[in-house]
Amino acid sequence: MEMLDITKIRTDYPILDRKIYGRPLVYLDNTATSQTPDIVVNSIVNGYTSTKANVHRGVHTLSMEATELQESARRKVREFINAPSAEEIIFTRGTTEAINLVAASYGGAFLKDGDEIILSVMEHHSNIVPWQLLQRSTDIKIRVIPILPDGSLDMDAYRKLLNERTRIVSICHASNVLGTVNPVKEIITEAHAREIPVLIDGAQAAPHIKIDVQDIDADFYAFSAHKMYGPAGVGVLYGKRTLLEKMPPYQGGGEMIESVSFEKTTFAELPYKFEAGTPDFIGIAALHKAIDYMENIGIEAIARHEHELLEYTSRRMAEEIPDLRIYGTAPGKCAIISFLVNGEHHYDMGMLLDKLGIAVRTGHHCAQPLMQHLGVEGVVRASFAVYNTREECDLFIDALKRVAQMLR
């Protein structure tokens, strides 16, 4: 098994040389957003300095080049998640917009009073609130799959929730707090046995797990570029053609029409029907570079490295930090450690860690229902990416010991 040259990988990220309060930055907030390698940043700079023109409208050279960059990114994303066709890849602003699109368009058109949808207690707000917005117009019921003490999904409870009123299941591939990787293939198989479509929120899976939407047979799959070494403001919704074709547009505007008159407007073919307005075509081209970057290193190699750091750090924390509580210990979890020490406030810990150069996330992590379930207001979260090192884990643990002592 080949070891990654992390020292070399780190040279792709000038930001990692920053000092925070005079100390080396230890960036462990990768679940919120990962850093961006030079190759992706350069793609954005080139997009603005060399090929900027609006896509799809022009016959001039720049416009055709910009269009080709966007469409080749679409083909790349298709390959990345093994979607059957590029027309099933819709560019959005991120996971949040992708889920809102499905809730508004699919939910708005096909869910009726009395219908039920199934979510899980570990969902991010972006996979809860769009469905609640739908409840303003339709009397649908949200049913919630609970979790087991280790943070894994209660599959027995899930099976019991599925019934003849269930119209959609929407669930994360991996939890941004617990790190739990859900058995999405099994979840989808169970739903499909009742002809219920499934949306997978892949925001936390795309950076670490090889995705194959055909293998898991997802009906919809959403993810964000900024969590996978790509730019902010770009995301992807994959949807099965049969579903996308019968769904009404989500937003109206340019790009998404075939013809417009005040009497009657007809809509463009997929995927443009769902891409109203000028997209972030420069960010989309940069996403292409981010996928190339991940594939050059190897997604399995990235995940292996992150898991080593996860295991090393979790073990040292358990051995060396008294009164530590880790939230989420499901087997095979992603490289995310959510924790509290001695009941100290997450915010105090995060602020003091920052003074020692350590960037971790604190708070409810946009998962307040999960926090309520765990009986906490918030947690501290350390999460890893390909450029993190064992030395950084040591700095983190040393800092954590100091902070825990200061607060005691």
x/- mask, ligand PMP, residues 204-223, rule CB under 6 A, reads: x-------------------
Task: Give Cα separations from 67 to 15, 28, 44, 78, 267 (angstroms).
Answer: 31, 36, 15, 17, 20
Nearest partner of 106 among 250, 214, 218, judged by Cα: 250
**3-class DSSP assignment, residue 236:** strand
Chain centroid offset of residue 387 CA: 19
Least CB distance from residue 239 to ligand PMP, whole Å? 17
Known active-site residue 366: yes
Contact 139, 195 (CB under 8 A): no
- What part of residues 365-384 is at the interface with ligand PMP (CB under 6 A)? 366
Q: Given candidates 56, 124, 289, 381, which one binds ligand PMP under the rule CB under 6 A?
A: 124
Looking at beta carbons only, is 89 or 203 nearer to ligand PMP?
203
Give which of 232, 233, 162 is closest to 198, Cα–Cα.
162
- The residue behind tokens 């073919």 is 269
Among 171, 172, 337, 404, binds ligand PMP (CB under 6 A): 172
**Given 172, 334, 366, 393, which residue is catalytic?**
366
Closest CA to 145 of 137, 136, 131, 157: 157
The answer to whether 203 contacts ligand PMP (rule: CB under 6 A) is yes
Q: Where are the alpha helices (DSSP H) in 18-122?
A: 38-49, 61-81, 95-101, 108-110
Under rule CB under 6 A, residue 34 binds ligand PMP: no
Is the CB of residue 387 less than 8 Å from the CB of residue 13? yes
Asked if 333 interacts with ligand PMP (CB under 6 A), we say no
- Piece of the chain touching ligand PMP by CB under 6 A; list 83-91, 92-100, 141-149, 307-315: 92-100
Among 95, 152, 170, 362, binds ligand PMP (CB under 6 A): 95
d(CA 393, CA 302): 16
Choices 1-9, 93-101, 113-121, 372-380; region in contact with ligand PMP by CB under 6 A: 93-101
State the nearest-atom distance from the C-beta of 202 to ligand PMP, in Å: 8
- Does 126 bind ligand PMP (CB under 6 A)? Our answer is yes
**138-172: string of b/e by CB count within 10 Å (b at 16+)?**
eebeebbbebeeebbbeeebbeebbeeebbbbbbb
d(CA 255, CA 17): 42
Candidates 224, 313, 314, 383: give the one binding ligand PMP (CB under 6 A).
Answer: 224
Residue of the chain from 35, 70, 100, 176 that contacts ligand PMP (CB under 6 A): 176
Query: Is-contact 237 64, C-beta < 8 A?
Result: no
Of the residues 94, 151, 231, 378, which one makes contact with ligand PMP according to CB under 6 A: 94
For position 313 contacting ligand PMP by CB under 6 A, the verdict is: no
- Considering only residues 269 to 298 of the shown chain, the ones binding ligand PMP according to CB under 6 A are none
362 lies in the site for ligand PMP, by CB under 6 A: no
Least separation, in Å, of the C-beta of 2 and ligand PMP? 30
Report how far residue 131's alpha carbon sits from residue 103's, in angstroms, rounded to the nearest whole number.
Answer: 6
- Token pair 């027995």 is found at 156
Which residue, 106 or 352, has its beta carbon nearer to ligand PMP?
106
Residues that bind ligand PMP (CB under 6 A): 32, 94-96, 124, 126-127, 172, 176, 201, 203-204, 224, 366
Active site members:
366
